[in-house]
């Protein structure tokens, strides 16, 4: 999908106090950045930020960092934060492949992946955020008892993700469902994203898995 360029998005993101510049300089020092020792949860591919900001409002005892590669998308989250001003939320405009350069070992407690790009062509499989390549990256900075939570409406991507975890020698599957909204145990406390509302309203079942190391 071609993203619409929004004039001024780069400048607005760079100027926002909620967007962290030169993120690699904080590697190993993220608790100092937040000025507390609260757990750090990140969402990779956060889009317009509704999911992350809803979580942050409910859990002020957790620090949240949203990662979004495109400024034209991140701009929408910045605009929301101008109103909400949540102290426990910040954003990074970064490529997910660079995250081990930004977070030190044992620095992140939870990773959220919501409705990630499925990269449907086989030759692009390594770009999927649940591929072995990315699981290896997450392993470099997730805490020993940390976990990964992944939601999608794409059944093929979900099957791929399950297989990547099940064939990994460092990750294991804690729970999974192919119909989240009709699974009482996994849907309890579920926070929906904009995409999730859109897809589920059309009758698309939502898949979710939870994995840890």
The reply to whether 163 sits in an annotated binding site is no
Catalytic residue (one of 117, 139, 156, 179): 117
The reply to whether 61 sits in an annotated binding site is no
The reply to whether 166 sits in an annotated binding site is no
Q: In 3D, which of 138, 130, 199 has the Cα closest to residue 162?
A: 130
Residue 206 in contact with residue 199, Cβ under 8 Å?
A: yes
The reply to whether 197 sits in an annotated binding site is no
The reply to whether 95 sits in an annotated binding site is yes
Q: Is 37 tagged catalytic?
A: no
The reply to whether 193 sits in an annotated binding site is yes
**Which tokens hold the place of 103?**
């977070």
The reply to whether 133 sits in an annotated binding site is no
Residue 66 in contact with residue 18, Cβ under 8 Å?
A: no
Cα separation, 171 vs 125, in Å, equals 18
The reply to whether 136 sits in an annotated binding site is no
Cα separation, 171 vs 207, in Å, equals 19
Q: In which element (H, E) is residue 78 found? A: helix 71-84
Annotated binding site for substrate: 121, 153, 193-196
Q: Which residues are annotated as a binding site for S-adenosyl-L-methionine?
A: 43, 68, 95, 117
Binding residues: 43, 68, 95, 117, 121, 153, 193-196
The set of catalytic residues is 117
């Amino acid at each position: 999908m071609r993203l619409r360029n929004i004039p001024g998005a780069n400048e607005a993101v760079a100027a926002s106090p909620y967007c962290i510049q030169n993120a690699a300089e904080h590697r190993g020092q993220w608790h100092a950045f937040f000025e507390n020792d609260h757990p750090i949860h990140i969402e990779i591919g956060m889009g317009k930020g509704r999911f992350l900001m809803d979580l942050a409002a409910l859990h002020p005892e957790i620090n949240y960092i949203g990662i979004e590669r495109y400024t034209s998308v991140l701009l929408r989250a910045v605009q929301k934060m101008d109103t909400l001003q949540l102290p426990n939320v910040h954003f990074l405009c970064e490529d997910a492949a660079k995250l081990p350069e930004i977070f030190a070992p044992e620095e992140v407690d939870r990773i959220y992946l919501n409705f990630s790009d499925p990269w449907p062509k086989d030759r692009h499989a390594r770009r999927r955020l649940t591929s072995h390549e990315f699981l290896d990256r997450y392993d470099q900075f997730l805490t020993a008892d940390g976990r990964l939570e992944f939601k999608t409406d794409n059944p093929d991507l979900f099957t791929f993700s399950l297989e990547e975890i099940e064939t990994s020698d460092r990750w294991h599957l804690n729970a999974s469902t192919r119909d989240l909204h009709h699974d009482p145990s996994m849907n309890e406390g579920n926070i929906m994203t904009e995409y999730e509302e859109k897809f589920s309203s059309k009758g698309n079942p939502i898949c979710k898995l939870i994995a840890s190391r």
